[in-house]
Structure 1
């Protein structure tokens, strides 16, 4: 691995959860590797074709890429958690989460790393800037989650809780996950950042362009994931009510 990773306290790496993205992952990985940071690919129980692609990529880039294999599909959240815990065990300090499908503007990667280095105890969240490629139903439906997040945190500190382009301080986030594991599927991105803010930690929002490739693969299950997200918001609301004195205390002492 790169020498700077071994010699400095700030040791970032990239985590990419992958589930049947065999057509997109090589392009995404090549864009990420240009910046010289170690990468962990998490195979989230993909089918054989994707698994073979990931194994070949890990072998091709064996000096820079780790491969974590999950025997069964756990969902995006489960894969991200597995990747972060693996990186923490390898001595890394921060994990930059990148989606495999090519939605994220990888050219912003240095900006996320730079911000994480300046604010090492903060969770750096991407705040999406959309172009015409965004499906309108997705664009407007996100605001329902935004409203619930603002209610459940009693703040506007989280600009967008659904963007998967973000940097986690590994020690703090893994300790939080030990206390509350959060969901394993699409609800993970939102729940983990809400609970992060509840704990009195800081969120820093970083604007970034988000693309929706025409041939992109989405694993969002309209019924199942919407039910899980609705249940998550319900749990978080009642959790907010129970934590209200602590939340107000933290806000008062910000």
Structure 2
């Protein structure tokens, strides 16, 4: 039986929701439906999934003009999927993209609030600052403090509330310029490197508290996080970024002094 599509909101011509996904399991259908209840348009970038979820997404999109499914033939990584999405979005005139995970961890109900914050400050990036529930793994909660500490040092404390939480709104033009200019930022290192490099480019962070859920396997939760592999990737990334920070330090100090002078 064909299911009715969600209510059609007036489509935005500047802001879209971008959901990269790779083998997300059954939760992706609910995630996409919830996102569509809150925003129009929603694009899903399928990053070479092999779990059968792509066919279900195609079915949803066939009945919903506010939903578009983009497909990459092989898995390339979250950052690569986001880059493909923002390239196509920019070509269609969009200026901002809200990224969220496909696995049900991120709060679709907050999409309008994040978009409104972005529309009020179009030159900024709007970052979710996670509020963890009791089910959150302590290793993940405590481990991210290391990445957050490095990110704040590397940006000279510009105000990054959380470097890893992927529920956020990016201005597309500066993000694409940065990504087109580097071979990095294609996999798990995308989220923290994006905020650091955008801060270097003068894009101000705005932080908004947002809950995060860690679904159990029984609830359909799927995790592609590999502790050793991904922490090694983050270590290499922060090593590169710290070297870049040292080179940019005089410019960053000058910018902070200039901003302090403007506030007085």
Aligned-partner Cα distance in 1 for 2:17–2:113: 14
- Confirm or deny: 8 A CA contact 2:16 2:39 kept in the other structure: no
Aligned-partner Cα distance in 1 for 2:212–2:241: 27
- Confirm or deny: 8 A CA contact 2:152 2:158 kept in the other structure: yes
SS at match of 2:25: coil
Structure 2 residue aligned with 1:190: 192
- 1:21 deviates by 1.2
2:33 corresponds to 1:26: no
Structure 2 residue aligned with 1:147: 149
Structure 2 residue aligned with 1:234: 239
2:222 corresponds to 1:217: yes
Encode CA deviations 1:108-127: one digit per residue, 9 max, x unaligned. 11110110010111010001
Structure 2 residue aligned with 1:166: 168
- Confirm or deny: 8 A CA contact 1:22 1:53 kept in the other structure: no
SS at match of 1:127: strand
Alignment of 1:106-185 (within 5 A): 106-155=108-157, 157-185=159-187
| Matching residue within 26, 32, 50 for 1:47 | 50
SS at match of 1:253: helix
| Matching residue within 197, 200, 203 for 1:201 | 203
Query: What is the RMSD computed on CA atoms of the aligned residues?
Result: 1.5
Structure 2 residue aligned with 1:65: 67
Q: Which moved more, 1:36-45 or 1:218-227?
A: 218-227
SS at match of 2:93: coil
Aligned-partner Cα distance in 1 for 2:248–2:107: 36
Unmatched segments (≥5 aa) in structure 1: none
Alignment of 1:75-90 (within 5 A): 75-90=77-92
Structure 2 residue aligned with 1:5: 12
Change (3 A) 1:4 1:102: closer
Change (3 A) 1:190 1:36: closer
Structure 2 residue aligned with 1:244: 249
Change (3 A) 1:175 1:23: same
- 1:107 deviates by 1.1
Aligned-partner Cα distance in 1 for 2:82–2:22: 12
Change (3 A) 1:110 1:5: closer
Q: How many pairs were matched up? A: 249
Q: Which moved more, 1:70-79 or 1:50-59?
A: 50-59
